[in-house]
Amino acid sequence: MRPPTGTLRRAVTLLDVDRRRVVLALLLGTLALGCAVALAGTAAWLIARASQMPPVLALSVATVAVRAFGIGRGVLRYLERLVSHDVALRGMTQLRTTLYDRLATGRAEAVLRLRRGDLLARVGADVDAVGDVVVRGLLPIGVAALLGLVTSIVMCLFWPPAGLALAACLVLAGVAAPALASRGARISEQRAVQAHADMTASALGLLDDAGPLLVSGRLQREMDALRAADTRIAVATDGGAPSAALAAGLGQLAVGLAVLAALLTGIPAVGSGRLAAVDLAVVVLTPLAAFEATALLPAAMIQVHRSRAAAARVLALLDGGAGPSPVLDDPRRPLPDLVAGDLTCAWPDGPSVVEGLDLTLRPGRSVAIVGPSGTGKTTTLLTLAGLLPARSGTLRLDRVDVSDYGREAVTATVLVGTEDAHVFGTTVLENLRVARGDVTRDEASAVLERVALGGWLTGLPDGLDTVLGPDARTVSGGERRRLLVARALLSPAPLLLLDEPAEHLDPATADALVTDLLRDPRGVVVVTHRLSPLDAADEVLWLDGGHVRARGTHADLRRTVPGYRAALELEGAGGAVARP
């Protein structure tokens, strides 16, 4: 599917490039290639004039000029690279910052729909591709246009027919050839953009989760998907190759035609005395350097199409994550009451999984959500956190609908801790500071002790300064889960929503942790498969079949709900309770 008109222009606007720096880079690039053209012309004149054996002083200016143009080309090229890459890198930083900010404060469902690899590709390679359009796309086009105009005018001063022929051939190499390359690039990039995303997502999934994929029997399926994506990329690249090859050949043809035109018109002019023999060498050899700028244009047009395709993916993420503006003057002021009324929870474009949910949460109140596997407990938690839009019903913070708040206002009040939250490849302390940047070492040690990780911390080689592997691959599942719970507890949010905080823990440790969380002075909702510690909850919601089948205290449900009582008895006997 072709990106909408104006996609690339809008993305480049988001780069917020400094126009003065762009103009400076354009001038430096033109001067650098201008030195190359001047070097070719001056060297041609010097060789031709030296063959006439004039006095040495007659060649001194040309000799110095050759050296100056040779040195100037390298120096100016280096300066142009410094300025243009500074523009591109600043633009990438600006776009990436805008993207992160929009994702952090906008609608979360835009991110939740994406695979991890696809999300990383969009905030990584796609943003880089948008920034590259400045250095590899727009600047080469501007330099080629400016240099071609100046070179053609100078050549006309030497010999007008050769100058006009050069201008025509520059148009052939600078317009027709890039147009062919553009056509091939449009075809290949449209076909390859999704294939690149699929390949990145599959490759990251295989690298990060090879063990779980092997155990679940999905490893071969992911390998096949990776091969299929790579095949689609190869087919798309091959589809654009004929146009690219024809464009390259057309560029070389234009060089030959320009030289031939200079010879065919210049030789008779030398014979008739209208053109000096030395000048003939200049008008014949100069075109060889003049086409250096146009040689970059086919690749520039390919980059433009690649950047346009990347821009469409980045803008789709930006637009999908755009949320309403906060209605608060101070989004961090306390909003203690979270009230759900007749709430229907579902994933976007998916079936409803929980209907008719009524729940009130405020500081000092704890609620446990339990039920058989597949009843939508996690979906309910994400909906209560505002990460998924409610299918119907109401969800209010301080009597204002959650959808009327900006993302920052909601997350400052309601924190959700999920099982798959990310653990960064940095120190233990810095991972805890994700929740609050001013966490002290004493606070970090205390919260780890609270979640039964005190012994683990003592055994680490560098304590809080121990660097964890990517996504905590160097720790056990239970240690990883408790580290995430500790991070949630350090958050200043007055309402906590925790998904399976006791996962991967032994029964005694799990029960102690859940009990402690339910007694936290903040408002707490805990989704758990452990029923034994729920006597500490103010209210327990039993989900089954997409509805709240029962609610009340732990004692009430044990007495009145057979399914709840049976699960509790199985748990007490040491059996396994169905996991969500």
The answer on 281 and 162 residing in a single domain is yes
Q: Over 50: is that where the pLDDT of 150 sits?
A: yes
Find the CATH number of the domain harbouring 376: 3.40.50.300
> What's the whole-number mean pLDDT along residues 316-332?
53
Least confident of 85-89, 255-259, 416-420: 416-420
Position 45 in a domain: yes
Q: What percent of the chain has pLDDT over 70?
A: 88
The answer on 190 and 60 residing in a single domain is yes
> What burial letters (b/e) apply to 42-54, b meaning 16+ CB within 10 Å?
bbbbbebbeeeee
Position 116 in a domain: yes
Helix axes of 160-171 and 219-271: crossing angle, nearest 10 degrees: 170
Residue 414 near residue 359, CB atoms below 8 Å: no
Domain count, the chain: 3
Position 10 in a domain: no
The answer on 176 and 152 residing in a single domain is yes
Q: Over 80: is that where the pLDDT of 463 sits?
A: yes
Least confident of 49-63, 252-266, 469-483: 469-483
The answer on 299 and 238 residing in a single domain is yes
The answer on 245 and 122 residing in a single domain is yes
> What's the whole-number mean pLDDT along residues 44-66?
90
Domain containing residue 160: 17-320
**Rounded distance between C-alpha atoms, residue 386 and residue 315, angstroms:** 22
The whole-model pTM stands at 0.64
Mean pLDDT of the chain: 84
CB atoms < 10 A from the CB of 223, how many?
13
Between 182 and 91, the higher pLDDT residue: 91
Q: C-alpha 38: how far from its chain's center?
A: 43
**Rounded distance between C-alpha atoms, residue 377 and residue 369, angstroms:** 7
Q: Shortest CA distance to 480 belongs to which of 442, 415, 428, 443?
A: 428
Planar angle of CA 303, 306, 307, nearest 5 degrees: 85
| Confidence at residue 575, expressed as pLDDT on a 0 to 100 scale | 47
Q: Shortest CA distance to 173 belongs to which of 151, 195, 194?
A: 151
The answer on 38 and 59 residing in a single domain is yes
The dihedral built from the CA positions of residue 106, 108, 110 and 115, taken in this order, carries a sign that is positive
Rg of the chain in Å (alpha carbons): 34
> What's the whole-number mean pLDDT along residues 4-33?
86
The answer on 384 and 429 residing in a single domain is no
Position 6 in a domain: no
Identify the H or E element spanning 417: strand 414-417
Position 276 in a domain: yes
Q: Over 70: is that where the pLDDT of 324 sits?
A: no
> What's the whole-number mean pLDDT along residues 369-374?
82
Bridge-based pairing of strands 366-370 and 539-544 is: parallel
Q: What is the 3-state secondary structure (H, E, C) of 167-229?
A: HHHHHHHHHHHHHHHHHHHHHHHHHHHHHHHHHHHHHHHHHHCHHHHHHHCCHHHHHHHHHHH
Position 3 in a domain: no
Between 236 and 256, the higher pLDDT residue: 256
Least confident of 186-190, 238-242, 494-498: 186-190
| Confidence at residue 430, expressed as pLDDT on a 0 to 100 scale | 92
Band (191; pLDDT cuts 50, 70, 90): low
| Confidence at residue 321, expressed as pLDDT on a 0 to 100 scale | 54
| Confidence at residue 330, expressed as pLDDT on a 0 to 100 scale | 45
| Confidence at residue 118, expressed as pLDDT on a 0 to 100 scale | 66
> What's the whole-number mean pLDDT along residues 462-476?
81
Q: Shortest CA distance to 31 belongs to which of 169, 137, 150, 134?
A: 150
Domain boundary among 320, 345, 368: 320
The answer on 229 and 185 residing in a single domain is yes
Position 172 in a domain: yes
The answer on 444 and 564 residing in a single domain is no
| Confidence at residue 178, expressed as pLDDT on a 0 to 100 scale | 83
The segment with the largest mean pLDDT, out of 180-184, 535-539, 546-550, is 535-539
> What's the whole-number mean pLDDT along residues 556-564?
87
**Rounded distance between C-alpha atoms, residue 528 and residue 554, angstroms:** 13
> What's the whole-number mean pLDDT along residues 382-398?
87
CB atoms < 10 A from the CB of 66, how many?
18
CB atoms < 10 A from the CB of 537, how many?
25
| Confidence at residue 337, expressed as pLDDT on a 0 to 100 scale | 86
| Confidence at residue 168, expressed as pLDDT on a 0 to 100 scale | 92
> What's the whole-number mean pLDDT along residues 259-271?
90
Burial of 199 (0-12, 13-18, 19+ CB in 10 A): buried
Between 105 and 510, the higher pLDDT residue: 510
**Rounded distance between C-alpha atoms, residue 318 and residue 22, angstroms:** 25
> What burial letters (b/e) apply to 464-486, b meaning 16+ CB within 10 Å?
beeebeebbeebeebbbbbbbbb
Domain boundary among 296, 320, 344: 320
The answer on 402 and 338 residing in a single domain is yes
Between 240 and 371, the higher pLDDT residue: 371
CB atoms < 10 A from the CB of 521, how many?
9
| Confidence at residue 64, expressed as pLDDT on a 0 to 100 scale | 94
Position 345 in a domain: yes
Find the CATH number of the domain harbouring 109: 1.20.1560.10
Least confident of 4-8, 88-92, 309-313: 4-8
The answer on 239 and 191 residing in a single domain is yes
Residue type, 7: T
| Confidence at residue 108, expressed as pLDDT on a 0 to 100 scale | 61
Q: What percent of the chain has pLDDT over 90?
A: 30
Residue with tokens 């909003």: 335
The answer on 296 and 172 residing in a single domain is yes
Per-residue pLDDT of 88-112, as tens digits, reads 999 889 888 888 877 766 666 666 6
**Rounded distance between C-alpha atoms, residue 470 and residue 426, angstroms:** 8
Band (578; pLDDT cuts 50, 70, 90): very low
Band (114; pLDDT cuts 50, 70, 90): low
Domain boundary among 286, 320, 354: 320
Bridge-based pairing of strands 392-397 and 400-401 is: antiparallel
Q: Over 90: is that where the pLDDT of 367 sits?
A: yes
Q: Over 80: is that where the pLDDT of 334 sits?
A: no
